[in-house]
Copies of this chain bind each other. A is one copy, B any other.
Amino acid sequence: METTGSIKLIIESKLENVPLIGGAVRGIASALSLDDVSGYHLELCVVEAVTNVTKHAYTLEAGNSVELNILLFPDRITFQVCDRGKSLDPAKVRLLRFDPQKRETLPESGMGLFIMHALMDEVYYETESGLNVLTMSKYLRR
């Protein structure tokens, strides 16, 4: 299907730049007339993905670039997060399991991939000749 618009966003791998990507995604959602909660969800998934690249693929080392492609289709919005760092080991995708009554079981991390899978309609991860691409799509009812 043909896109009805697209934009590429690039930041250097520093946590201080992540809110800029996040703000941009929320602003784009608002320009597309999405409601506040949907805009927050899109920002959240992108921020989780970009933070993961910064922290895990580039182990918080500055000087690398994180690229986000946003593709608009008539029925959905697609985000591609690209990096050339360490690849994601699919075994890392975990369920979120804890007992709300037992404080010691509560997770303090490991919720990012869960959130992306829960909020997006489609998530997949591919590595080809050193380029890692996480693709996430959300269908839009407009």
Q: Which residues of A are interface residues toward B (Cβ below 8 A)? A: 4-12, 14, 16-17, 19-32, 70, 72
Once the chains bind, are B11 and A9 in contact (CB under 8 Å)? Answer: no
Once the chains bind, are B12 and A9 in contact (CB under 8 Å)? Answer: no
- List the number of copies, as a whole number: 2
Once the chains bind, are A7 and B7 in contact (CB under 8 Å)? Answer: no
Once the chains bind, are A20 and B7 in contact (CB under 8 Å)? Answer: yes
What is the minimal beta-carbon distance from A110 to any residue of chain B, in angstroms?
A: 26
- In angstroms, Cα B14 to Cα A19, docked, is 27
- In angstroms, Cα B4 to Cα A14, docked, is 10
Nearest B-chain residue to A65, judged by Cβ: B8
Q: Quick one: given A26-B27, A26-B30, A31-B26, are A21 and B5 in contact (CB under 8 Å)?
A: no
